[in-house]
Structure 1
Amino acid sequence: MDRALNVGLWLLLAVIWSSSYAIIKIGVETIDPAVLVFGRMGLGAIILVAVMLSRGVRFEMSWAAWRIYFITGVMGTALPFFLISYGELHVSSSLAAILMGVAPIASVVLAHFVLAGERLTKRSTFGVLLGFGGLILLFGIDALSAIGSHLVGQIALVGAALCYALNTVVIKRAPKRHPLEMAAGSMSVGAFFIGVATLVSLDVSNLATPSTESVIAVIFLGVVPTAFAMMIFFFLVNRIEAKQMSQINFAVPVGGAIIGVLWLGEQLTTNQLLALPVVVLAIYLVTSKTVVRAAAVMSVKR
């Protein structure tokens, strides 16, 4: 039962985050990317705090707790959002997606050295490398030809991927807290950080009037891929291994490509058709053996 719940939530989270690609594309048509990020995170923080309080959960008012909120809020949301936004000003979305594939590779390596019981195996190593190859196949080998053409932007994207990897490992090592508390605390700190940075850097005089579609896109992003997804993430990250959690970074670009075809009418390429089974196989190789073992251990404990 626990295994089915974990798999179901993992797939739901992948679908939710996959949808954000298409929604962001609609939102940035008339809303500045920095404003969009602050809007979705601010709304997400309000929702998460409200849900947390309604469930009788409260923030732990200690330096240790707020240190974790700060680390996960800045490193897991605010900083990578900024790095991705900057990187995609200079790097194609296809190369950006491939560079973000560094996240699950880094997660597996970090987990090997930091987390007990998450040792690097030949199977998991082959799985993450196969997944990275699947991303290259998904967006085409030609996307790699741009590597080095704007090094700062590409470093920013790799930095965002490393932030996500570090964030997953930090949460796994941190003392266990209520998922709602972690989600609300992390998002609140991240939203504050982004809000201050946006107010300092934004040129208000050049802002366009947002369309109704873009406003709806920001609301959707705040409610579903931000607030709801963060609740699932912090619930799930304490139930499965870091390397299992990180594989979602392979699934999301594939899901985003499929949603783009079904929703936005984008063309389905041969690369996309070939990449899907490769990425699915990679995720299976990394997660299946450990999931079965974890389920066996839990059944023994019962």
Structure 2
Amino acid sequence: MTTATVTEAPVRAVRRPALDWRLRFGVLSLIWGFSFLLIKVGTEGYAPFQVTLGRLLFGTLVLAAAMAVKRERPPRGVRTWGHLAVAGFLLNALPFSLFAYAELTIPSTLAGICNATSPLWGMALSMVALSEDRPTRVRVAGLGLGFVGVLTVLGAWQGFSGLDGRGTVMALLASLSYPIGWIYVRRTLAGVGHSHISLTGAQLLLATVQLAVATALFSGVPTHVDALPLLAVATLGALGTGVALLIQYGLVAEVGPTTAQMVTYFIPVIATGAGVAVLGESLSWSTPVGAVVVLAGAALTQIRRGARRNGSRTAGGRGSSGRGSDRPGSDRAGRAHAAESRVEAAPHP
């Protein structure tokens, strides 16, 4: 999730990464797909707030290292930092904590599927909050289909028996928090003249501070150290929050946000496979069937009119096709795609 302007970026070649984008796409899918397993393992040894704090701390360290290597400066301006604090709460502190609490009582497979509902929530909210994002019949149909899938996953015809309602609601609220955060960023941070690494590093830092306060008030310091849960938390933060974001930004700059967002549809599949194969979680027929319906609905909600997707846009969603060419591989193209990715990024767990 990045914000950047494209009007002032010079057009110059960008060195392509050594690894093919398809390999990086697969790595990103695996990292985020296994994140729900890591959350579950982490909560077996530590309180949910402690898991989230550790995750954010390790993720922030990775972004700080990337900023140091690239010699990026932190954002400037009290107003910008204030907006980043809200973004950090909505996009990191709140959903990460809700998923951690949810997985105390629900399987990681269900949490991964709930995460896939973010595009559905996003489409519903954009109909109300973003006047320039008008729905089409196909997108509305996708919204309805997606929520039918959610009801299928939850076994609505059985009265939701066998599910922990509180944990499920927490996971769904976590998924809802992402599009609320995206809309907030789109309204407040569009056009801010800082790189995505700088903005996201500051955002994670502020979210870490928020969790440090929450952990001190409600969880305290861990009374003992469990090696495996600690390793899970460190991996979750360093890879799932830090490295994964860097991979995502690279994908957005190279192949565009539409292709990069396709990772959303692989996350629940990998999360389900990991939960069943590694953690031995049970799986009823309605879970994979409902998940397929959810993903189909989510895919339909992302279909837009061709004209809107052909022109380049700034982070504020305004067309800018008349301002110059966004050639693949150019710095202008990378910044344009990075700007779009901050408001339309895949919901990472």
TM-score over 0.5 for the alignment? yes
Look up the match of 1:226: 241
Alignment check: 8 A CA contact 1:179 1:231 kept: no
For 2:22 and 2:309, the matched residues in 1 are separated by 12
Alignment check: 8 A CA contact 2:75 2:199 kept: no
Q: State the superposition RMSD in angstroms.
A: 3.8
Structure 1 residue 181 corresponds to structure 2 residue 198? yes
Matches within 5 A, 1:4-23: 13-23=28-38
CA change 1:92–1:218 in 2 (3 A) is: closer
Look up the match of 2:274: 259
Q: What residue ranges of structure 2 are gaps of 5+ in the alignment?
A: 1-19, 313-320, 326-349
CA change 1:15–1:70 in 2 (3 A) is: same
SS in 2 for 1:144: coil
CA change 1:43–1:22 in 2 (3 A) is: same
2:180 counterpart (158, 166, 170): 166
Look up the match of 2:4: none
SS in 2 for 1:57: coil
Matches within 5 A, 1:1-302: 13-89=28-104, 103-115=118-130, 117-141=132-156, 142=158, 144-145=160-161, 156-173=170-187, 174-176=189-191, 177-204=194-221, 207-211=223-227, 213-232=228-247, 240=257, 248=264, 252-267=267-282, 269-289=284-304, 293-294=307-308, 296-297=310-311, 302=325
Moved more, 164-173 or 90-99: 90-99
Q: Percent identity?
A: 25
Give the TM-score normalised by the residue count of structure 2. Answer: 0.67
For 2:92 and 2:77, the matched residues in 1 are separated by 22
Q: Structure 1 residue 51: deviation in Å?
A: 0.5
Structure with bigger helix share is 1
Moved more, 27-36 or 55-64: 27-36
Q: Structure 1 residue 60: deviation in Å?
A: 1.9
- 1:13-34 CA-to-partner distances (Å, cap 9, x unmatched) read 5543221111122222223322
Amino acid at match of 2:236: L
CA change 1:163–1:246 in 2 (3 A) is: farther
Moved more, 230-239 or 155-164: 230-239
Alignment check: 8 A CA contact 1:251 1:279 kept: no
Q: Structure 1 residue 237: deviation in Å?
A: 8.1
- 1:52-94 CA-to-partner distances (Å, cap 9, x unmatched) read 1211211122012202220111121112233344455566767
Q: What residue ranges of structure 1 are gaps of 5+ in the alignment?
A: none
CA change 1:102–1:268 in 2 (3 A) is: closer
CA change 1:262–1:89 in 2 (3 A) is: closer
Give the TM-score normalised by the residue count of structure 1. Answer: 0.76
Q: Structure 1 residue 217: deviation in Å?
A: 0.9
- 1:109-130 CA-to-partner distances (Å, cap 9, x unmatched) read 2223433542112211221332
CA change 1:117–1:186 in 2 (3 A) is: same
